[in-house]
Amino acid sequence: MNAKNPSTMPASTERRMPFHKYKPFKPVSLPDRTWPDKVISEAPIWCSVDLRDGNQALIEPMTPNEKMKMWDLLLEIGMKEIEVGFPAASQTDFDFVRQIIEENRIPDDVTIQVLCQAREDLITRTCEAVSGAKRVIFHLYNSTSTLQRKVVFNMDRQQVIKLATDATALVKRYTQPLRDAGTEVVLEYSPESYTATELDFAVEICDAVMKVWGPTVEKKMILNLPSTVEMATPNIYADQLEWFIRHLPERDKAIISLHTHNDRGTGIAATELGLMAGADRVEGTLFGNGERTGNCDLITMAMNMFSQGIDPRLYLSDMPRIVAIAEECTKIPVHVRQPYAGELVFTAFSGSHQDAIRKGMAVVNKEGGAWEVPYLPIDPADVGGSYRETVRVNSQSGKGGIAFVLENFFGVSLPRPLLLEFSPIIQKLSEQRSGELKPDEIWNAFVKEFIEVEGPYKLVDYDIRSVGDNVQACDARITVGDNKIEVSGEGSGPIDAFVAGLVETLNEPLNVVEYQEYALNEGKEAQAICILAITDDAHNKYYGVGISQSTVTAAFKSIIAAINRKWR
Ligand code: KIV
Ligand code: ZN
């Protein structure tokens, strides 16, 4: 049967997903919203929830050792608020909290946070866990969403408010002995699934909790407004926040905290717009590890600010180390395209991008000033990367990429006609390979093509003598196939003399038409590279390259290489 015969084709190839199963999220009515005109100008209070939300979402939760490694990393990058676990729900978490308190591992400017559900037994156990800490954020939560009230708890609004306020009263009562013993206790209340909660109800329950806890302007409590499951576009989260903040009776006694998840892939966008809408604090994890599609990625959040000239108040300069420890503790690889941290995020394979980066870098290196390099939103060196790794060569790359690699890895800058000759060789090689060519492979191809060129001639050795004013004589031994022959000539310098000898002895018509020589590296082991072109009687041009500790040897080798290329 002929598959292309129209009579055998189906009438339509169109297929439909069951989109009718889903309903659109209702936007917030806030025509006088102000957040779109706001600009993020300073870092929020960061709170890492890696050791709780992140850990809860792992196939293999962190071992005590891994928790400690992650804790140390969070301190190292400058995290000042860290949710260390759900101690009433997990013995490992309980033991970890005890360990960092008893071993005095919490710096004075760092506050631990512990999660707890609105249940008396869990509240007392949590208080036990944090006893002896200098400052603690007691994170109380219950779900307030319309759906969960109906299908999970079977409670009306007033019952849910009572649940939250009773629990707050219990936290107040059971933390009193801690306070008496000198621990500062901050309450954080999360109406879980805030984004799926009626806004007026969210305000009502948060206000009721505040009334029981009794925060002041000086001693605020934290209201954490989670997008537990991301359900709408990020602008809607911002509207929900601006609405909430406008309607909360005692906003000045609350720190408004954001806690987004990434179900629609816009957890970071939602958090950024949430900050524009007036929030003060952000909870999230390194690289966004967390339930389902993850939490808000604090690294990207902070680096986004950094790239706008804002102090992120996190120290992320050794990104490879942060990645390595996060991967080790979570056993989840950081994606090669992970913003600011992935292996490929500062790499250009495309020829036009490589060219633009090269030119942009030249301007930045020469003129300084604010970072402005095409295709590189930040300087990779700021996160422990290297400018050298920005350009990698595959079949999509052009001569710019090859020139970049030779310049930056080997210190060799090629004249443009030579580059034009070399570039198709690399193109062909990478096509054959169907993949990337590493710098060493590019170099080896260069050596094979221009330096150690297969051909009839080989330089054995030579002597140079002065034979008069500005006249030098060269006696060189070369092999031609299996024969060793003497080449002698005179000229104004060694190259002239060698060329004269070659022309005479070998009857090789050749002119040196281009010549450049420079040091490849510095110090005792310094090598010179000579890049030279000869022409024959028909004006064909042949490049040859020589490398040696002696500038004369490098030049002679380059001539031999050029002649061999001619004979190839
Ligand atoms: O995602 C969420 O809602 C949470 C709460 C416990 C804050 O993790
Ligand atoms: Zn969460």
- Number of Cβ within 10 Å of residue 408's Cβ equals 19
Counting from 1 in the atom list of ligand 1, the atom nearest the Cα of 295 is 1
Q: Please give the average per-residue pLDDT across 216-231, as a whole number.
A: 98
Does the beta carbon of 259 lie inside 6 Å of ligand 1? yes
Same domain for 358 and 317: no
According to the model, what pLDDT value does residue 433 have? 85
Q: Rounded to the nearest whole angstrom, what is the distance from the C-alpha of residue 226 to the centroid of ligand 2? A: 7
On whether the CB atoms of residues 71 and 113 are closer than 8 A, the answer is no
Nearest residue (by CA) to ligand 1, atom 2, is 228
Name the pairing type of β-strands 135-143 and 511-519.
unpaired
Pocket test for ligand 1, best of 115, 126, 143, 222 (most atoms within 8 A of CB): 115
Same domain for 462 and 446: no
Nearest residue (by CA) to ligand 1, atom 4, is 228
Domain final residue pick, 418, 451, 484: 451
Nearest residue (by CA) to ligand 1, atom 8, is 53
Instruction: Determine the Cα–Cα distance for residues 113 and 137; give it in Å rounded to an integer.
Output: 4
Task: Using a pLDDT cut of 70, give the percent of the chain over it.
Answer: 99
Instruction: Determine the Cα–Cα distance for residues 117 and 131; give it in Å rounded to an integer.
Output: 18
Q: Rounded to the nearest whole angstrom, what is the distance from the C-alpha of residue 290 to the centroid of ligand 2? A: 7
Q: Rounded to the nearest whole angstrom, what is the distance from the C-alpha of residue 133 to the centroid of ligand 2? A: 24
Q: Please give the average per-residue pLDDT across 274-286, as a whole number.
A: 99
Confidence tier at 6 by pLDDT (50, 70, 90): low
Q: Report yes or no on 297 lying in a domain.
A: yes
Same domain for 467 and 411: no
* Dihedral (CA of 372, 378, 384, 387) sign: negative
Q: Rounded to the nearest whole angstrom, what is the distance from the C-alpha of residue 357 to the centroid of ligand 2? A: 39
- Number of Cβ within 10 Å of residue 251's Cβ equals 15
Same domain for 497 and 397: no
Does the beta carbon of 228 lie inside 6 Å of ligand 1? yes
E strand or H helix that includes residue 513: strand 511-519
Instruction: Summarize pLDDT for 297-340 with one digit per residue, the tens.
Output: 999 999 999 999 999 999 999 999 999 999 999 999 999 999 99
Residue span of the structural domain in which 506 resides: 457-567
Q: Rounded to the nearest whole angstrom, what is the distance from the C-alpha of residue 50 to the centroid of ligand 1? A: 12
Does the beta carbon of 53 lie inside 6 Å of ligand 1? yes
Q: Rounded to the nearest whole angstrom, what is the distance from the C-alpha of residue 332 to the centroid of ligand 1? A: 21
Q: Is 217 or 385 the better-scoring residue by pLDDT?
A: 217
Name the pairing type of β-strands 528-535 and 541-548.
antiparallel
Q: Any idea of the CA torsion for 487, 492, 496, 502, to the nearest 10 degrees? A: -30
Same domain for 547 and 427: no
Least confident among 56-60, 467-471, 489-493: 467-471
**b/e per residue, 170-197, with b = 16+ CB within 10 A?**
bbbebbeebeeeebebbbbbbbbbbbbb
According to the model, what pLDDT value does residue 9 have? 73
Nearest residue (by CA) to ligand 1, atom 5, is 192
Instruction: Determine the Cα–Cα distance for residues 529 and 28; give it in Å rounded to an integer.
Output: 69
Same domain for 509 and 492: yes
**In the block, which residue shows the tokens 């806004």?**
199
Q: Report yes or no on 34 lying in a domain.
A: no
Q: Rounded to the nearest whole angstrom, what is the distance from the C-alpha of residue 231 to the centroid of ligand 2? A: 14
According to the model, what pLDDT value does residue 5 have? 63
Instruction: Determine the Cα–Cα distance for residues 93 and 542; give it in Å rounded to an integer.
Output: 71
> Taking 60 as the threshold, does the pLDDT of residue 487 lie above it?
yes
Does the beta carbon of 556 lie inside 6 Å of ligand 1? no
Least confident among 125-139, 192-206, 347-361, 415-429: 347-361
Does the beta carbon of 422 lie inside 6 Å of ligand 1? no
Same domain for 490 and 473: yes
> Taking 70 as the threshold, does the pLDDT of residue 7 lie above it?
no
> Taking 60 as the threshold, does the pLDDT of residue 447 lie above it?
yes
Q: Rounded to the nearest whole angstrom, what is the distance from the C-alpha of residue 128 to the centroid of ligand 1? A: 22
Does the beta carbon of 564 lie inside 6 Å of ligand 1? no
Counting from 1 in the atom list of ligand 1, the atom nearest the Cα of 226 is 3
Confidence tier at 258 by pLDDT (50, 70, 90): very high
Nearest residue (by CA) to ligand 1, atom 3, is 228
Instruction: Determine the Cα–Cα distance for residues 386 and 404; give it in Å rounded to an integer.
Output: 13
Q: Report yes or no on 527 lying in a domain.
A: yes
> Taking 50 as the threshold, does the pLDDT of residue 1 lie above it?
no
According to the model, what pLDDT value does residue 390 have? 86
Pocket test for ligand 1, best of 142, 148, 190 (most atoms within 8 A of CB): 190
Instruction: Summarize pLDDT for 121-137 with one digit per residue, the tens.
Output: 999 999 999 999 999 99
According to the model, what pLDDT value does residue 4 have? 55
Same domain for 159 and 49: yes
Instruction: Determine the Cα–Cα distance for residues 66 and 63; give it in Å rounded to an integer.
Output: 5
SS3 362: helix
**In the block, which residue shows the tokens 């942009």?**
360
Q: Rounded to the nearest whole angstrom, what is the distance from the C-alpha of residue 364 to the centroid of ligand 2? A: 42
Q: Report yes or no on 23 lying in a domain.
A: no
Confidence tier at 536 by pLDDT (50, 70, 90): confident
Nearest to 299 by CA among 307, 61, 291, 391: 307
> Taking 80 as the threshold, does the pLDDT of residue 387 lie above it?
no
Does the beta carbon of 226 lie inside 6 Å of ligand 1? yes
Mean pLDDT of the chain: 95
For residue 280, what are its two tokens?
């003060």
Q: Report yes or no on 390 lying in a domain.
A: yes
Q: Is 459 or 524 the better-scoring residue by pLDDT?
A: 459
For residue 474, what are its two tokens?
């060269």
Confidence tier at 182 by pLDDT (50, 70, 90): very high
According to the model, what pLDDT value does residue 2 have? 47
Counting from 1 in the atom list of ligand 1, the atom nearest the Cα of 229 is 1
> Taking 60 as the threshold, does the pLDDT of residue 270 lie above it?
yes
Instruction: Determine the Cα–Cα distance for residues 124 and 540; give it in Å rounded to an integer.
Output: 90
Nearest to 428 by CA among 416, 410, 418, 442: 442
Confidence tier at 552 by pLDDT (50, 70, 90): very high
The CATH number of the domain holding residue 405 is 1.10.1220.20
Residue type, 276: M
Least confident among 144-148, 181-185, 216-220, 506-510: 506-510
Instruction: Determine the Cα–Cα distance for residues 47 and 259; give it in Å rounded to an integer.
Output: 10
The total number of structural domains in the chain stands at 3
Same domain for 303 and 401: no
Q: Rounded to the nearest whole angstrom, what is the distance from the C-alpha of residue 226 to the centroid of ligand 1? A: 6
